[in-house]
Amino acid sequence: MTRGRPVGSNIRQNIVEILYFLKKAHGYKIFKIYRELFPKTSQRVIYYHLKKGSDLDEFKVSEVKKETGDYSWGDKAEKIYYSLGKNARPKVPKEVHDYFAKKKIEKATKT
């Protein structure tokens, strides 16, 4: 038996599923969707797993944008956009699929 923590993570796998549907998104958008699907999580753990997943090539940084706006911390924000990396293995669980199917229907009925 190997020592240490296992490499896999349910949280990282759920982020893979979300990015499978979004194709590309910044960390806060991923967090907001993750929170709707799995309410008992923190923003910090999502950002941790985005970084860890980037190190393991499950995610890749597709672009970094510096945006200006009226934020509580100032007038600039740096948004890091992630997409799936070469080691990502999406499984598409039912709750994630249903969430995005529902969002697609809601979007279609608004227009």
List pLDDT tens digits, range 44-103: 999 999 999 999 999 999 999 999 989 888 999 999 999 999 999 988 888 888 888 888
| Domain residue limits at 55 | 10-110
**8 Å CB contact between 60 and 29:** no
Q: 1 in a domain, yes or no? A: no
Find the CATH number of the domain harbouring 106. Answer: 1.10.10.10
SS3 16: helix
Q: 5 in a domain, yes or no? A: no
List pLDDT tens digits, range 14-52: 999 999 999 999 999 999 999 999 999 999 999 999 999
First to last CA, the chain: 56
Q: 4 in a domain, yes or no? A: no
- Cα–Cα distance, 101 to 94 (Å, whole number): 10
Return the pLDDT at 104: 78
The residues, ordered by sequence, that sit 6+ positions from 87 with a Cβ below 8 Å of its Cβ are 56, 57, 58
Q: 39 in a domain, yes or no? A: yes
Return the pLDDT at 87: 93
* Count of domains observed in the chain: 1
